[in-house]
């Protein structure tokens, strides 16, 4: 990953704290391997995208790529995430954000599901 760009993973959020743990573990692992990996929940849980943006602004990084941890594009992708990114842009105009397709739409995701399903059959 480009050291001048942060990666922001965005899962939905949940009141169930056990649901949160795999995302936090993923973010910690990727951060240790890639550096500048953040976790921002779509709703319910902190940190929010705005809180993550503040943390990024405390570093020399001025660009982030937001990866929705969703299977597909829905209302959160088309409406809610762009609204949050616009709020970040208004607060920090020098911080450039890029919205990536949801992780579930990546071709490698299908390969991963196939592999996991094969291991469990």
pLDDT tens, position by position, 69-115: 999 999 999 999 999 999 999 999 999 999 999 999 999 999 998 99
Q: Is residue 100 part of a domain?
A: yes
CATH number of the domain enclosing 42:
3.40.50.1400
Contact between 32 and 65 under an 8 Å Cβ cutoff? The reply is no
* Each residue's pLDDT tens digit, 39-71: 999 999 999 999 999 999 999 999 999 999 999
Q: Is residue 1 part of a domain?
A: no
Count of structural domains within the chain: 1
Q: Is residue 53 part of a domain?
A: yes
Q: Residue 9's closest CA among 23, 25, 29?
A: 23
Domain interval for residue 74 = 6-119
pTM of the predicted model, to two decimals? 0.91
Residues whose CB is less than 8 angstroms from the CB of residue 48 and which lie 6 or more positions away in sequence, other chains included: 40, 41, 84
Q: Is residue 50 part of a domain?
A: yes
């Amino acid at each position: 990953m480009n050291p001048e760009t942060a990666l922001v993973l965005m899962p939905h959020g949940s009141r169930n704290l056990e649901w949160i743990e795999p995302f936090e573990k993923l973010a910690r692992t990727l951060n240790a391997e890639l550096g500048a990996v953040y976790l921002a929940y779509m709703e319910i849980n902190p940190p929010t995208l705005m809180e993550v943006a503040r943390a990024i602004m405390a570093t020399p990084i001025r660009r982030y790529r937001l990866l929705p941890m969703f299977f597909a594009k829905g209302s959160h992708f088309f409406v809610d995430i762009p609204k949050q990114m616009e709020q970040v842009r208004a607060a920090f105009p020098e911080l450039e954000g890029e919205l990536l397709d949801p992780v579930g739409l990546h071709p490698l995701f299908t390969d991963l599901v196939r592999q996991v399903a094969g291991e469990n059959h």
